[in-house]
Amino acid sequence: MYETLRRSPVTKKTAVFLVSAAVTWAFVINFCALIYACGCQSLWAGAAEHCNIHMAESHHCPWCSIGTSGFNAVQYGIIAVQAVVSFGPYRSNILARLLFSLIAFPLAGTVIAVALGLWHGYWS
């Protein structure tokens, strides 16, 4: 049974998805800081503790200002794109699938970040 699971395309695709989703979960707040220069830090270094949402006279980070549910929706939106890439019906080897699933994080994240940044007037 172990051999069957180890060789199963579904098991490999699931592993690709779990790895890429874990990377997104661990570094999405860093990506927020990269895009918005808002002061957010790694999850293990305070997360949004130093974000500009805590400063009255500055533009407020679009991801942090939409609350926990909104921030989670952004994160799950990125992870949904990674799921499509991970489980897609196309033929590719497992390493290529992993690479594209990992690349989906900054690509989808940038699209979402720019859209929310423009909608909130963050850069104006």
| Domains: count for the chain | 1
Residue 81 lies in a domain: yes
CB 105 within 8 A of CB 124: no
Residue 110 lies in a domain: yes
The confidence score (pLDDT) of residue 70 equals 92
Residues with Cβ < 8 Å from 30, sequence gap 6 or more? 40, 41, 42
Q: What is the pLDDT of residues 18-38, one digit of tens each?
A: 999 999 999 999 999 999 998
Question: What is the pLDDT tens value at each position of the chain, 124 positions in all?
Answer: 445 445 667 788 999 999 999 999 999 999 999 999 988 899 898 888 889 888 888 888 999 899 999 999 999 999 999 999 999 988 888 999 999 999 999 999 999 999 999 999 998 8
The confidence score (pLDDT) of residue 35 equals 95
The confidence score (pLDDT) of residue 1 equals 46
The confidence score (pLDDT) of residue 19 equals 97
Domain residues for 15? 11-119
Residue 45 lies in a domain: yes
Residue 31 lies in a domain: yes
Residue 6 lies in a domain: no
Rounded CA gap, 10 and 18, in Å? 12
Say how many CA atoms lie within 13 Å of 40 toward its Cβ: 24
The confidence score (pLDDT) of residue 6 equals 57
The pair of three-digit structure tokens given for residue 121, joined into one six-digit string: 């007037």
**What is the per-residue DSSP string for the chain?**
-HHHHHH-HHHHHHHHHHHHHHHHHHHHHHHHHHHH------GGGTGGGGSGGG-TTSPPPHHHHTHHHHHHHHHHHHHHHHHHHHH-SS---HHHHHHHHHHHHHHHHHHHHHHHHHHTTTT-
Residue 3 lies in a domain: no
Residue 88 lies in a domain: yes
